[in-house]
Amino acid sequence: MPKVVVIGSLNMDLIVRAERRPATGETVMGSDFHVLPGGKGLNQAVAAARLGADTHMVGRVGDDDFGRRLRAFIAAERVGDAHVHASPGVATGVAVITLVDGDNTIVVASGANMLVTSGDVDALPVSQSDICVGQFEVPMATTEAAFRRARAAGARTLLNAAPAQALPPSLLEVVDILIVNEHELTILSGATITEASTDADIADAARRLVSSGRSVIATLGARGALAVDGNGVHLVAGHKVTVVDTTGAGDCFVGALAATLAAGTALPAALERATTAAAISVQRLGAAPSMPTLAELENSRS
């Protein structure tokens, strides 16, 4: 079976829940505090692995307690970690997350994630028909190097263009599947996309980024997801659920999509499964720990 190989970040999430966010210079008392595994790369890898994909992670942690705890978590999730290395003298990445009514604000200290280099992907464990996943929480040059090696091996490349920033043409040219939210789509397409934009507006913006063989997927939160590829526009409606924590929902979508595509499912059906998986994840606290299992996904669809 084809593998899912994720090049990306591993963070420890420090989560505080509060009734509101403080103004500048103000202190607000929080209700509870949690320390949970996260980072876009780790979240995506766990999402894929829990859905049954043979999943491998490429990244870096610090030689510290958080790094050791993250590596233990990866092993427990049966994600291949032979290419996750500890960098001496550098802190593991940390995300400080404030939760208010299920929505979050996040500040990331990247730490060891910024030390992932092209040397770390020289022996990328990827082969024909695999799915290679990347995002922007490790150096962009490393992601590009990994994608070029994946392409050379006959694998498909899937880029989650987050956190939002400009995308170099040299990286875009080796992306087979591009996943963006509304804000990221605005930056990359030049169109103005908001929550009020119609499906037609979003599809038009996505078409600006489609090229021969490339699919573009826009995640739309509670509205669902929209994809544009050579076969047209595919729209999947969202699910009405009680939201506990949206942290990692987009990562869940990405990992679930990668796992489903690796299993040979066509894009429209893969969108459905990824959207359902993300809806499950927002109903519980945390990022990586909130990813659904295959049994949970199947039960939710029955």
Q: Catalytic residue numbers?
A: 251
CB neighbour list of residue 190: distance below 8 Å, 6 or more residues apart: 208
Strands (E), the chain: 3-7, 11-18, 30-38, 54-62, 80-87, 93-100, 103-109, 131-134, 156-160, 177-181, 215-219, 224-229, 232-237
Structure tokens at 286: 């945390």
Q: Give residue 196's identity as a one-letter amino acid code.
A: A
**Strand pairing category for 93-100 and 103-109:** antiparallel
Hey, is 135 helix, strand or coil?
coil
Hey, is 215 helix, strand or coil?
strand
